[in-house]
Structure 1
Amino acid sequence: MKVVYAVTEEQEEYMNYLVRYFYTNVFPYYFADEQIEEFEKLRILLPDGEHVTYNGTMKEAFQIISALQSLITIIEYIGENGDYERYRYLFERNIDILRRYGITFPFMIEQFANKRRYPCSAYFPSSSKWLM
């Protein structure tokens, strides 16, 4: 008999927060709004309905959270410095962790090497609750 711990509601919320962070604070610096819209349609960073192996255990949630956090950190670093060769292994390793749980992240590290300085995107979070 094996005992596993179920993921907490807070962990599920944090995983969703990290996915939203990609769409609002990472992708707009590297992709056009039309591309990001296509990512949403393709369910990038969301579990694939057919190949999901995520069972909602605490261990799996921690692995997914750490993989998402690592990818964000790597992308934000190389976007500023352009030094991506050094982090290729970590980048691909974290993508493999996500893939293991049926989460799609079909990007190459080179796509994040040149961060746009002044992007204009509808995906950026609004700075206030009043949007004109």
Structure 2
Amino acid sequence: MKEYPVRRSIAVGVVAAAIVAGAAPAAHAALPQVRPAVAADEAAATFYTGRAYAGPALGLEAQGECVNLPAGFNDRIASVGVASGVAVEVFEDAGCAGSSLEFFEDIDNLGSFTGKVSSVRVRYGTGG
């Protein structure tokens, strides 16, 4: 698996700790709680706020559930690192609604989706 630089901020750590502990921000309470991976090299998909895998990173496991992005990442994703055998779908709206883009490999620049992603679904699977 390709390794990506991991950059964390205090805000990301606090949000991740709240999600791991089972506490969810009110806007995200209706969605299943998916535990962020501990590090980018353990994640099925890693979401970066900067292009070319730069900036703060949020790693998620492949659970197949819709995940609303936490504060600090909502409407800020610009690139995504994707592990082999993993499919990622990004959505413009919370609750995996609105326009979407699905991909099966690293994306160093989300183009027109940059800064518009509000929710994601990460699952095992390949394009067909």
Q: Same fold (TM over 0.5)?
A: no
Higher normalized contact order (CA 8 Å, seq sep 6+, divided by chain length): 1
Flag the structure with larger Rg: 1
TM-score by length of 2: 0.28
